[in-house]
Amino acid sequence: MAVQQQAGTVRRLKVWDPWVRLVHWSIVLLIPFSWWTAETGRFDLHFLSGYAILALVLFRIAWGLVGSETARFTHFLRAPGAALRHLAHLRRRDAPLEVGHNAAGGWMVLLLLLLLLAQATLGLFADDDVLSAGPLARRVDGNLSAAATSVHVRLFWLLLAFAVLHVLAVIVYRALGRNLVKPMVTGVIDVPRSEPLIAPRLGSPALAAVLLAGSVGFVWWITTLRPDSMF
């Protein structure tokens, strides 16, 4: 009886397209994989992981401009004051439901994307002078490559810190009764029928496929710039 009542008072709303979820969960797996391959000296796999991250981030940025409504930066990036107000009212049980990223989460998404973009780009120029070198390392001045290598190593820990902060925020939301993980797995949220929420517009799968293929192709092209002397 309770199940029937719940089914009658709750409706499912599609908020996340498969492309956003693909990027999200792939990066969740690739970040620890990149760390492990670097720590164990498996630099061939480390570079492949970095290339994959770079392609995914480039695609996500493009999708954030022309993709699904909830994926667009214009949808979830609001004034910093809105993010602070959201955090101030976080513990309110009657706080309104939001379709997509909330005001605070939107800024975290942007920050993580920028950190990932910087980390992967720096890796292209990194050179440890022993075992590995990025495909663009020998195409720039040695001092510049050394600086990129140093920042690449240190920036990872900043990226990790914000990733941990992101996970902690998800745990806090769950403790307050808001499950953010399930929608990112299924793509849908359950909302009361009384809530006047409208399903967001989803982007074209064909356009997403073209953008993803273009991002992969661009990163592959970068790898072909590796000088022959490095092999």
pLDDT tens per residue, range 64-112: 999 999 999 998 888 887 777 777 766 665 556 677 888 888 899 999 9
Mean pLDDT of 127-145: 86
Q: Which residue in this structure is represented by tokens 């075992």? A: 131
CA distances from 212 to 51, 61, 62, 117, 220 (A): 13, 11, 9, 16, 12
Q: Is the predicted pLDDT of residue 231 greater than 60, yes or no? A: no
Q: Is the predicted pLDDT of residue 226 greater than 90, yes or no? A: no
Q: Give me the pLDDT at residue 4, please.
A: 40
Q: Give me the pLDDT at residue 97, please.
A: 67
- For domain 13-230, is the CATH number 3.30.1380? no
Of 28-37, 55-64, 163-172, the one with minimum mean pLDDT is: 163-172
What mean pLDDT value characterizes the chain? 87
* Residue type for position 84: L
CA distances from 95 to 12, 169, 185 (A): 19, 17, 23
Q: Is the predicted pLDDT of residue 149 greater than 70, yes or no? A: yes
3-state secondary structure 56-120: HHHHHHHHHHHCCHHHCHHHHCCCHHHHHHHHHCCCCCCCCCCCCCCHHHHHHHHHHHHHHHHHH
Tokens describing residue 166: 């992101």
Instruction: Look at residues 41, 20, 15 and name the one whose alpha carbon lies nearest to residue 212.
Output: 20
Helices (H) and strands (E) in the chain — how many of each? Answer: 9, 2
Q: Give me the pLDDT at residue 227, please.
A: 57
Q: Is the predicted pLDDT of residue 228 greater than 70, yes or no? A: no
